[in-house]
Structure 1
Amino acid sequence: MKLFFEQPALAILLLLLWRAACEQIVFSDNRPAISIQVTGPSQADLNATVSRALNTCQVRELLGDSRYRLLYSELLSPSTELYPDTKDEGNMFQATVYDYTRGRVIFPKGILPDIFSSDVALANIQPLPSLEELAEAARIAGIGPSVTENARPYMPPYEARDFPDGTSHRLLHLAIGSANLSRLAYVNMNNGSVQAILAQGAVCQAPADSNQASVNINTPGTANFVISKNGNTLWAFEVTRPSSSAGTNGAGIELRNVKYKGKSVLYQASVPILNVEYEDKTPPVSCGPYYRDWQNSEYPLHCPPAKEFAPWLRLCKTPAATIVDPPFTDGGDFTGVAVSIEGQEVVLKSQMTAGWYRYTSEWRFDVDGTLRPRWGFGGVLLGDNCICHVHHHHVYWRLDFDIVSAGNNLVREFNNPPIFPGTKYHDKVYEVKREKDPGCHRHWEISNTRWRGKYALIPGPNDGVADEFGVGDMWVLKYHPGEIDDGVRFTSAIDAKANIDKFKNGEVVKDQDVVIWYAAHFKHNQSHEQGPEHGHIVGPEIRPLQW
């Protein structure tokens, strides 16, 4: 396509804008080059549309004279539960408004920038607090925040006080952290009452809380990446920052439309489910015993700047460091997605917070076509110091494989020694849940039945095996657009378990569009950690076999 301009100045301006939007970083040595283009509506675009949507007659009638707060607004990913039948990359938005007077949530939603396409839903649920609501809760509690303190959600982040008519009051579970002290409180945001909590912290060797602010969830951020070497394009994919990732509780760094050497590998890849179980379930231990965590609250990490593509997207001079990387300290100088070139790998890394936990979402793209998903587990001393109590983490990747094409995909399992006579391989014909088996060198291969292309999914050596709470290791499912996660919100009850089994209903998966869920499990015993080292990293390997 050719573009012609009557005014040369306009052509020059557009050329400069293109260069600013799509920048390539080329190194003089043998490392891969990267090209990054930031895309999607801005926060200002989103705010402007949401402001107009809140002023529509429909929303004004619902709010009336209520005391309310706009907690946050978000761009919805395609194929969410709100728009389950669309793959349109249109700019769908949703605002989350809490009505304190009537104890309910109002969700105006629609398509940018057309507010006339908007609709409104009501629900009695408890969303995560925004930074502004946390600051208000701290003010009500009379415990800050000051310039040296930051309020953050504790675990569980809220409770609902339900009434017979189905409405509820919103109680925020608040932690106020400073250099040497953590204070806890429940703050009723509906009537302003406060219940102070005495922290009874255990003692162990763990990193100190850096007491830095996180980023509001649902803050937009999307970019297109191209990784090349010697002028040849290798990887191309779309990245969404954790704060804007899809799913009920977010999903860490989210990948879409992942291609290697021009052919499709994955349509979508992320971590929509993350939970934890504590071993000691008897009073007076106040930790857990179960939590479903969230993966969209970004926290600072260390990333010495080499190039900043957007406020949330930075190329680091040296590898980015989170709490699970040397020198194993909390916090940093950058919040968002950090990019680094490490040998023949391009590495994307973010750090997130959920109460006292610190999580690392990481994707490692090797020039040889190998993709290494990684998830790091860490934590800090805060409140009851639950990091000191033995607990089990479970992380669930959702890998929507589209090997060469969306359909015609086949999943085969490898076992040696064989579990079927005479063959080390067998096809997955129907939806199934499988466990890891290191003794059989078990792994899975995903291929296209019509076109050349095959990848292997190989369990990592530290990925553990399923148990009663960590309910599985691997699922092969037929793709359905609404099955991004199991819909369980943040909770401290036994229903924090992953419920991927509800998607397994016997459908044919052979020669179909398939989704694989892969889980890793890790026992965290802080007393076993020696010296400054802290945290653990898990994850499989996604390796090309035929391409």
Structure 2
Amino acid sequence: MTDDTTIEIEEVGGHRVDADRLRDLLTENARIREIFADSDVAGLRVLGPQVPVRDQDGPPFTATVVDATGNVAATVRGDLDRPDAFEVASTAVVPNPTHEELRGALEVLHADERYAPFAGRDDVIVYQPMPPTSDVEQDDGTVVRRITLGIFDPDGSPVHRFVAVDLRDRLVDWDLHGVEHLDDHDCEDHLPVGVGGLPGGDTGLGQVRVRVVKGGQELWSFTVVRPRDSAPTHLGKGSGVELRQVRYRGRLVLWQAHVPILNVLYDDGVTYRDWQNSETQFQAVGSDPVGPGWRVCSGPPATILESGTDVGNFQGVAFWYDDGELQIVSEMQAGWYRYISEWRLRDDGTIQPRFGFAGTRNPRTCMRHQHHVYWRLDFDIEGAGRDIIEQRGLILPGQPVWHRIVRETKRIRSPFAREWRVLDADSGRGYRITPGAADSSADAYGVADLWFLRYRGTELDDGVGVVGGPPSATQVKLDQYLTGESIDRTDVVVWYAGHFLHDEEHPSPHQGHVVGPELRPVRW
């Protein structure tokens, strides 16, 4: 960090809904009792509750209530002060295992007599694979929740073995079907941290306010939400490092920016919709001005992409300023995947959203697959409303360089659509969106590269609550919001997609594992 530039971090309060109070109120709700007729209502798990980022966004909270044992779920919307007016509806959400469930499953596995040959061996690692659960439907339609565990045995045949643990009856299924991997190759080089060593990440603030001050002048001001608490929370997936109320030189640029949608498709049709709220450790040296989970680094932080290891000394969000640029970075875990959520803010006003892809040893990622990451960029140039969208394509004689987009639409990157900008209709200030060199273009599963939508506070994601399933279940579903509304001089949200092809037979250089556009100020 240079002598005349400081990074100031302070605690900022965030409105929260009391999940325990909500659970108590739901025990008296007739619709909840109907949906969860065979469940202990008092023991239901509450995902979220998600509160609006803006006060005028409708119901004070949205939450998902689940019976994790039987995979029964309901969406609840309303106001804690008006429980009689709660809106309750059944939904299809399969919650990810908690850290407590993973550790409980490990205990059950260790107690199983068939685990005896692995016991006491330092080279055997029990880790979280994909998919995270291997549930079984009974003849009566009810579902038994089972936690999936992977056993890495470097001397075994197979090297990777998968089991499903029923926590309720303390049973282990060693003949697991439905976790299909076509071979037993050892993909990736990094040994995973075992389930017992996965950090919980429950300590520390959920969000902070950050200022970048250079020579006494404020360049940047924004709120950072760590992946653990990132929105949306009501599906239990999160969105990586989330930025809110981003201002450059005192002027508002973005109200909210995050990655609510992340999925992957393999060549054999296996797909996953991943989560981004499970922080994992990486290397970062520095000071923690507001306590655990927030570190101002004295040297460049190193995620699994730089360090080549799945262990570290820090968990949360790290900041590193160097050569006119602030890096904001965190590392996340989803099964054997490791994801890097990063933002880079330059002194000249340029914003670079970045997303990185890595993994630990497993038998699945050897197969060619395509990751798709979808940023949600809620631009509020100079304030909400009065936004205009323009597109740049081929430069033709006698034709304007930029063309206005006036209706909700989606786009595929091509020579005819290669750059876009969001401008304030009154001042002409704005930001230009230039695709990154490694961002590729959408295939049929990826659907599109950009969506331009009129702002709706209920459209923080596309409503997909499953992790695994056929491509039709996990692919992005933003097209449902294309209603033909005018977006000219309104409040506009831009969804931007990056697509990364992972092919073990044709490995990419390091920069090929990172995607993201460049957002550059216009007339600022």
TM-score above 0.5, yes or no? yes
**What is the alpha-carbon distance in structure 1 between the residues aligned to residue 140 and residue 368 of structure 2?**
40
Cα contact 1:103–1:190 (8 A) shared by 2: no
Shift of 1:187: 2.2
Residue aligning to 2:6:
33
Unpaired runs of 5+ in structure 1?
1-26, 282-287
Residue aligning to 1:11:
none
Tell me the amino acid that sits aligned with residue 188 of structure 1. D
1:137 aligned to which of 91, 105, 116? 105
Cα contact 1:414–1:444 (8 A) shared by 2: yes
Shift of 1:379: 0.8
Q: Provide the secondary structure at the position in 1 that maps to 2:129.
A: strand
Cα contact 1:314–1:338 (8 A) shared by 2: yes
Residue aligning to 1:76:
50
- More strand per residue: 1
Shift of 1:436: 1.2
**What is the alpha-carbon distance in structure 2 between the residues aligned to residue 122 and residue 454 of structure 1?**
40
Residue aligning to 2:348:
368
Where does 1:145-164 land on structure 2 (aligned, <5 Å)? 153-162=128-137
Where does 1:26-425 land on structure 2 (aligned, <5 Å)? 29-30=3-4, 32-40=5-13, 49-55=18-24, 58=27, 66=40, 71=45, 74=48, 76-78=50-52, 85-86=57-58, 96=65, 98=67, 100=69, 104-105=72-73, 123=90, 125-141=93-109, 142=112, 153-162=128-137, 167-176=142-151, 182-196=160-174, 200-204=183-187, 206-211=189-194, 212-215=197-200, 221-247=206-232, 248=235, 249-279=237-267, 281=268, 289-325=270-306, 327-382=307-362, 385-418=363-396, 422-425=399-402
Shift of 1:167: 3.8
**What is the alpha-carbon distance in structure 2 between the residues aligned to residue 93 and residue 361 of structure 1?**
25
Cα contact 1:328–1:534 (8 A) shared by 2: no
Residue aligning to 2:501:
523
Q: Provide the secondary structure at the position in 2 that maps to 1:273.
A: strand
Cα contact 1:219–1:244 (8 A) shared by 2: no
Shift of 1:355: 1.1
Shift of 1:73: 5.8
Change over 3 Å in CA distance of 1:292–1:479 after alignment to 2: same
Tell me the amino acid that sits aligned with residue 376 of structure 2. R
Cα contact 2:62–2:75 (8 A) shared by 1: no
Cα contact 1:224–1:239 (8 A) shared by 2: yes
TM-score, normalised to structure 2, is 0.83
**What is the alpha-carbon distance in structure 2 between the residues aligned to residue 436 and residue 150 of structure 1?**
43
Shift of 1:51: 4.2
Which stretch has the larger CA shift, 301-310 or 455-464?
A: 301-310
**What is the alpha-carbon distance in structure 1 between the residues aligned to residue 161 and residue 393 of structure 2?**
52
Change over 3 Å in CA distance of 1:86–1:237 after alignment to 2: farther
Tell me the amino acid that sits aligned with residue 145 of structure 2. R
Shift of 1:469: 1.1
**What is the alpha-carbon distance in structure 1 between the residues aligned to residue 168 and residue 324 of structure 2?**
54
Shift of 1:207: 2.2
Which stretch has the larger CA shift, 336-345 or 122-131?
A: 122-131
Tell me the amino acid that sits aligned with residue 401 of structure 1. F
**What is the alpha-carbon distance in structure 2 between the residues aligned to residue 66 and residue 87 of structure 1?**
27
Change over 3 Å in CA distance of 1:481–1:217 after alignment to 2: farther
Change over 3 Å in CA distance of 1:376–1:432 after alignment to 2: same
Change over 3 Å in CA distance of 1:467–1:105 after alignment to 2: closer
**What is the alpha-carbon distance in structure 1 between the residues aligned to residue 121 and residue 25 of structure 2?**
38
Q: Deviations over 1:369-388 (max 9, x none)?
A: 11100000111113xx2122
The answer to whether 1:504 aligns with 2:482 is: yes
Cα contact 1:220–1:243 (8 A) shared by 2: no
| Residue-pair matches, total | 496
Q: Deviations over 1:211-267 (max 9, x none)?
A: 341436899611111111111111111111111111232111111111111111111
**What is the alpha-carbon distance in structure 2 between the residues aligned to residue 185 and residue 72 of structure 1?**
27
Q: Provide the secondary structure at the position in 1 that maps to 2:100.
A: helix
Shift of 1:404: 0.8
Q: Deviations over 1:41-91 (max 9, x none)?
A: 69xx98xx44455455826995898498565664524169xx993397xxx
**What is the alpha-carbon distance in structure 2 between the residues aligned to residue 60 and residue 446 of structure 1?**
45
Cα contact 1:410–1:449 (8 A) shared by 2: yes
Change over 3 Å in CA distance of 1:349–1:237 after alignment to 2: same
Change over 3 Å in CA distance of 1:164–1:421 after alignment to 2: farther
Q: Provide the secondary structure at the position in 1 that maps to 2:258.
A: strand
Q: Deviations over 1:355-402 (max 9, x none)?
A: 1111000000111111100000111113xx212221111111111111
Taking only aligned residues, the RMSD between alpha carbons, in angstroms, comes to: 3.6
Change over 3 Å in CA distance of 1:175–1:480 after alignment to 2: same
Q: Provide the secondary structure at the position in 1 that maps to 2:185.
A: coil
Residue aligning to 2:449:
473
Shift of 1:343: 1.5
Shift of 1:189: 3.9
Unpaired runs of 5+ in structure 2?
none
Q: Provide the secondary structure at the position in 1 that maps to 2:484.
A: coil
Tell me the amino acid that sits aligned with residue 335 of structure 2. G
Shift of 1:140: 2.7
Question: Identity over aligned residues, as a percent?
Answer: 34
Shift of 1:530: 8.3
Shift of 1:119: 5.7
Where does 1:9-24 land on structure 2 (aligned, <5 Å)? none
Residue aligning to 1:537:
514
Cα contact 1:103–1:169 (8 A) shared by 2: yes
Cα contact 1:54–1:108 (8 A) shared by 2: no
Q: Provide the secondary structure at the position in 2 that maps to 1:299.
A: coil
Change over 3 Å in CA distance of 1:421–1:452 after alignment to 2: closer
**What is the alpha-carbon distance in structure 2 between the residues aligned to residue 448 and residue 57 of structure 1?**
44
Change over 3 Å in CA distance of 1:108–1:356 after alignment to 2: same
Tell me the amino acid that sits aligned with residue 537 of structure 1. V
Q: Provide the secondary structure at the position in 1 that maps to 2:211.
A: strand
Cα contact 1:54–1:60 (8 A) shared by 2: no
Cα contact 1:58–1:120 (8 A) shared by 2: no
Shift of 1:504: 0.9
Shift of 1:301: 0.8
Shift of 1:471: 1.1
Tell me the amino acid that sits aligned with residue 269 of structure 1. A
**What is the alpha-carbon distance in structure 2 between the residues aligned to residue 79 and residue 169 of structure 1?**
36
**What is the alpha-carbon distance in structure 2 between the residues aligned to residue 108 and residue 482 of structure 1?**
13
Tell me the amino acid that sits aligned with residue 191 of structure 2. A
